[in-house]
Structure 1
Amino acid sequence: MVPGTSMQGSSHFTWRGTAGARVQPRPLWEFTFSHPNGITIDGAIYKSPKIRCDRDYPGRPSSVGCVFPQQHADEWVSGDRASWWGSHVANAQSSGLPVSLHRATTAEVVANRAAACTTAPRPRPTVPGSTEKRECDEYPFASAAEGAASGTGTVRVLNIYTWDGSAYCNMPPTVNQTGEGGWSICLIPASDNRTGGQILNSLYKAFRVIPGDEYSIRIYTNT
């Protein structure tokens, strides 16, 4: 080393794992230094924060990735991206339903979808002035462990209205509209429902959210 200069480098480790596997290593680096004249130089030890490596991302058994599990997957989303979906999420959270959720297992997702919209009218109505169908949107999401099949309460339809005074969810509101238990449903345009799903999947991928991980989506409005 030359006085007044700095050195830098990188180190790596490899973990391949098997499908469905998870590990939580805590990499440790030990630095030792030597001097040609035998002068004693202190070493150093660095412990990184705990990380999680897995091959347990739903639907992608070959996907391998590592994250800091301490990092909560939390995202603010503009309500303009999917106004109906965003409004339903925001109002459902305001009614007392939990903001922080946990990603469901595949079996829980199937059960949530089967239970969520049984009280929604069929056939699904169309959006006024359009041929686009409405779809049943639920919160907590079907991909959340707190979803409709979790047994924490009953279904609710929020008392929301559009700018022209028409019923927002296209269903009569229920009496019980507050509290942490249960779930909310709303009939929203199919395009909004798809966009909401894309927003949620983007969050899962960005933070590598796997079953059991905590996450939250919050809606803000542009003023």
Structure 2
Amino acid sequence: MRRGNDSTGEKTRGTEGAAGGAGGDSSSDAFGPRGNPRAFHQSRCRQGRDDGSPYFDVSLDRRMPGVLAFAVRSVWSDQGQVQQPGRPRWFPFLSFPSTNELTNPDGHGKRTQFLNGPIYWSAAGGAHPVVNHFLAAWARHGYEGGYIGYPTTDEIVNADGVGRRQEFTGAAIYWRLNEAYSIGGAIRDKWAAMGGESGALGYPITDELPGVRHGGRYNDFTNGTTAWKPMYERDIAYSLIRCDQALTAGQIGCIFPAEIPLLPYYDPYRLGQLAGHIAAAQASGIPGDYEADLPLHKGTREAETENRDNACKTNPRVPSVRSDRDCDEYPFASAREGAASGGTERTFQGCGLPLVAQNLPNGSPITGPRYSICLINPSHNRSGGGDARWFYHHNRVLMDDPFYVDVMSGSLPTGSP
């Protein structure tokens, strides 16, 4: 994110560490003769204070005046490796300051740039360095002006001894193996409840990203995805409990049947074209959408075979030879509302099939039961099928049980027609 010049003489954030700094300082004043950091260090030694400190002399104080000066000096020195009697500790990684104290665009926070990274200060979080991959991840979301906000901690080593994190006022940034990504809010709460980076999901591998539908958000992790979306609250009666052993002989499981489960398809990398097809089908009036309160229902094994045959296997409009696409149907073959239940067929632009008229000869829209078919990425189709089987089993969805299907971040294939 580029920043224009402000009242402090600030350059863009990408150039604050350049020789000469900001505010018109010469390279000699900033770094010593010919911009040599060693000469800078020696000049500070010669001009040091009475306590023998070669670093916090009048010249450095001039480069960091005001509210930030004491906080930055504290962080800069506290990060050091060696404590010398009578002198503050020195943090060699940041090196020397290269700008004056700068006021951030919000008019409240402050920062000072060092040769190898900045220290940021805010009233809410204090003064903390933000460097390397953490700085890059923070910059992707607008620095302190974005939803991540100001830093509230330095980098913290995680419990696994491998990764690191840094906390901010609005979120956190997690780093592992030279990648750093943001996570916050309800998604982070859910992730933390599942064990965080040490749990089943592992580390985040994307920033928090917007979903296409319903204003949702999601993060991808090493071993899965966690998503959030605003959901309508519903009154659920929990007075009845259903227990059965229909899924695994000898193992009893119980559910609240009034709670209708929702099958999420949120991962655009594993499920993108499948999610795009379902979204288009639901938008055309086919049931399954949570917000429309039109659930699907689990069908029988026999009906599943018939649904699949009618929609794809014996459908004369579906080519028998398909080298790079699978025939996907919605509602699922496993749903009672599948293709064999009757009704009219439909497809969409990009699905690789001849389009079907959606209106009667008199121009009236076709109503009643309907199903959709689309030729999509085989991997997306098979991943979605595996997710559905897992969903049925773990939510104990039996014959005639209702369920919803929710999708985000999907898109139809691009193809002809």
TM-score (norm 1): 0.65
Larger radius of gyration: 2
One-letter amino acid of the structure 1 residue matched with residue 354 of structure 2:
P
SS for the counterpart of 2:316 is coil
Residue 147 of structure 1, aligned match among 338, 363, 366: 338
Root-mean-square deviation (CA, aligned residues, Å) is 2.1
**Residue 98 (str. 1) matches residue 283 (str. 2):** no
Corresponding residue for residue 374 of structure 2: 186
Q: Secondary structure at the match of 1:87?
A: helix
Question: How much has 1:121 moved relative to structure 2?
Answer: 2.9
Task: Confirm or deny that 1:196 pairs with 2:377.
Answer: no
Question: Which residue of structure 2 aligns with residue 109 of structure 1?
Answer: 304
The gaps in structure 2 that reach 5 residues or longer are 1-237, 289-294, 360-365, 411-417
Contact 1:135–1:188 (CA<8 Å) still a contact in 2?
A: yes
Using a 3 Å threshold, how does the CA distance of structure 1 residues 71 and 175 change in structure 2: closer, same or farther? same
Query: Sequence identity, in percent?
Result: 37
Could you say which residue in structure 1 is the equivalent of 2:405?
Answer: 217
Provide runs of 4+ in structure 1 moved above 2 Å: 60-64, 119-126, 177-180
- Cα distance between partner residues in 2 of 1:89 and 1:79: 13
Shift of 1:170: 0.8
Q: Is the contact between residue 74 and residue 216 of structure 1 (CA under 8 Å) also seen in structure 2?
A: yes
Query: CA separation in 1, counterparts of 2:378 and 2:298?
Result: 23
Q: Greater RCO between the two (CA within 8 Å, min separation 6)?
A: 1
Would you say the 8 A contact 1:84–1:189 is kept in 2?
yes
CA shift for structure 1 position 202: 2.4
Q: Offset of 1:79 from its aligned partner?
A: 4.9
Change (3 A) 1:139 1:62: farther
CA offsets 1:182-210 (integer angstroms, 9 cap, x no match): 21001112111101102212221231111
Q: In structure 2, what residue type is equivalent to 1:107?
A: E
Q: Which whole-Å CA distance do the structure 1 matches of 2:372 and 2:284 have between them?
A: 9
State TM-score, norm by structure 2.
0.36
- Alpha-carbon shift at residue 180 of structure 1 (Å): 5.0
Partner of 1:205: 393
Q: Which residue of 2 aligns with 1:171?
A: 353
Residue pair 1:124, 1:135 contacting (<8 A) in 2 also: no
The one of 56, 69, 72 aligned to 2:246:
56
Question: C-alpha offsets along residues 20-67 of structure 1, whole Å, 9 cap, x if unaligned?
Answer: xxxxxxxxxxxxxxxxxxxxxxxxxxxx7211111223xx45553111
The letter for the 1-side match of 2:333 is: A
For the pair 1:84 / 2:273, whether they are aligned, the reply is: yes
Preserved contact between residue 104 and residue 212 of structure 1 (Cα < 8 Å): yes
Contact 2:346 2:372 in 1 (8 A): yes
CA contact (8 A) 1:98 1:180 kept: no
In structure 1, C-alpha distance between the alignment counterparts of 2:250 and 2:245, rounded to whole Å: 7
SS in 2 for 1:82: helix
> Could you say if the C-alpha distance between residues 98 and 186 of structure 1 is closer, same or farther in structure 2, counting changes exceeding 3 Å?
same
- Structure-2 separation of matches of 1:185 and 1:192: 14
- Unpaired segments ≥5 residues, structure 1: 1-47, 127-132, 161-167
Aligned counterparts, 1:25-44, within 5 A: none
Relative distance call for 1:109 and 1:63 in structure 2 (3 A) is farther
Deviation at 1:217, TM superposition (A): 0.9
Measured in 2, the distance between the counterparts of 1:63 and 1:182 equals 37
The 1:63–1:104 alpha-carbon spacing in structure 2 relative to 1, beyond 3 Å, is: farther
How much does 1:97 deviate?
0.4
Question: Which letter maps to 2:271?
Answer: A
